[in-house]
Amino acid sequence: MIIEIKVPSPGESITQVQIASWLVKNGAYVEKNTEIAEIESDKATLAISASESGTITFAANQGDTVAVGQIIATIDSDTAKPQNTEPVSVIQQVPQTETPAISVHISPLAKKILNENQIDASMLVNTTQTGRIGKQQVLNYLSGEKETVPAPTSTPGTTRVKMSPLRQKLAERLVAVKLNTAMLTTFNEVDMSQILKFKTKYNEAFKTKFGYSLGFVSFFAKAAAMAMREFPVINAMIDNDDIVYHQFADINIAVSSPKGLITPLIRNVQNMSVPEIETHIKDLGAKAAKNRISVDELAMGSFTITNGGVFGSMMSTPIINPPQSAILGMHNILQRPMAVNGEVVILPMMYIALSYDHRLVDGRESVGFIMNVKKLLEQPVENGLTNNDEFDNFLAK
């Protein structure tokens, strides 16, 4: 029986994806539920698995842009499993001893037209410098109007690669923020002494139970959710001529992935404890590292937190995640001399930054919010951010 492998819908409003990579070889025998390909939209990279065991035949090439619902491969489930074969593994690049050929991807429709007209695809290789041959290039060739392409501008020692859909979308959004918002940034600094005490006390317990260390972002997420109660405009957004206020704190946490920076979502942070938030953050971080964040987990929240401190950043001006109105930036912790009650003491200090859309948020709200976050972090027990019982009870579950 021939099983069709179609492109699943990664989410609402997404109609096209790119085949980021084939994870098996064309013509290989694959087991049911084996991951056979990765597809990439402008939001996330998703894996496609084999629905049945059998021999796979590709119907599209790596790098092709394909429509949701399009058949990209078939599996012949009547094929017997080969004996004494190694398990299917991720495709490896084959070393070339001769001058490497240009890698060109041909769209399914272009390939069909080439076959119907008995044209060797190699005749069109020099008509593209994008690494892809589409329908129009084939039609131009047939009509004698071969596309004139200037010589590649790459020079020795450089590599030209096509920008991924995720990176393209990120670039568009970042430029749009600059053009469409009145973004300002306010700064402050936080004495992290009390938060470090929690980290020192519970770090080993978290490692033992969950396999990872206790981080800092969870404390900031809870503090931001609490500060929003007093300054709800920080958690609001502009929709045409209206201001939309959110009764929840759905916070996007910026994390790195192999494809670039993404901002997965933690919903209803206002109802969670600090250790609960921590487990959500670590789970999202682990998924992001493997390109396994779902589209639902990349939904837009009401506020964003980014932590440049993990890369050693001392200070930055984070860019708003539209249509949100504010983003909180964390940075690295440095031991610095500070004046306390007329005396100089060494304290673990962190600069924090709040970028905000001045069309909606005024200085009073922005400064008030960041000062509230500072107060909660510097006196977490007294101000109800967290306490030892909260951690002990969570770890005892």
Q: Which residues neighbour 336 within 8 Å (Cβ) at sequence distance 6 or greater?
A: 346, 347, 349
Q: Which residues pair with 76 in a beta bridge?
A: 2, 55
Six-digit token string for 121 = 């695809």
Q: Is 358 a residue of the active site?
A: yes
Choosing from 64, 76, 242, 362, the catalytic residue is 362
DSSP string across 334-372: EEEEEEETTEEEEEEEEEEEEEEETTT--HHHHHHHHHH
Residue 362 among the catalytic residues:
yes
Q: Angle 167-173-176 (CA atoms, 0-180°, nearest 5)?
A: 140
Residue ranges in 231-362 assigned as alpha helix (H): 274-289
Is beta strand 35-40 parallel, antiparallel or unpaired with respect to 54-58?
unpaired
> What tokens does 387 get?
């306490």
Alpha-carbon span 30 to 389, nearest angstrom: 51
Catalytic residue, chosen from 76, 357, 358, 392, is: 358
| CA 112, 117, 122, 127 torsion-angle sign | negative
Task: Count the helix, strand and coil residues of the chain and give each as a percent rounded to the nearest 5.
Answer: 30, 25, 40
Nearest to residue 4, comparing CAs of 79, 60, 73? 73
* φ/ψ of residue 213, rounded to 5: -80, 155
Question: Cα dist. 273→115, 173, 222, 224, 269 in Å?
Answer: 62, 32, 7, 13, 8
Q: 12 to each of 15, 31, 43, 72, how far by Cα in Å?
A: 8, 30, 11, 20
3-state secondary structure of 224: helix
Catalytic (active-site) positions: 358, 362
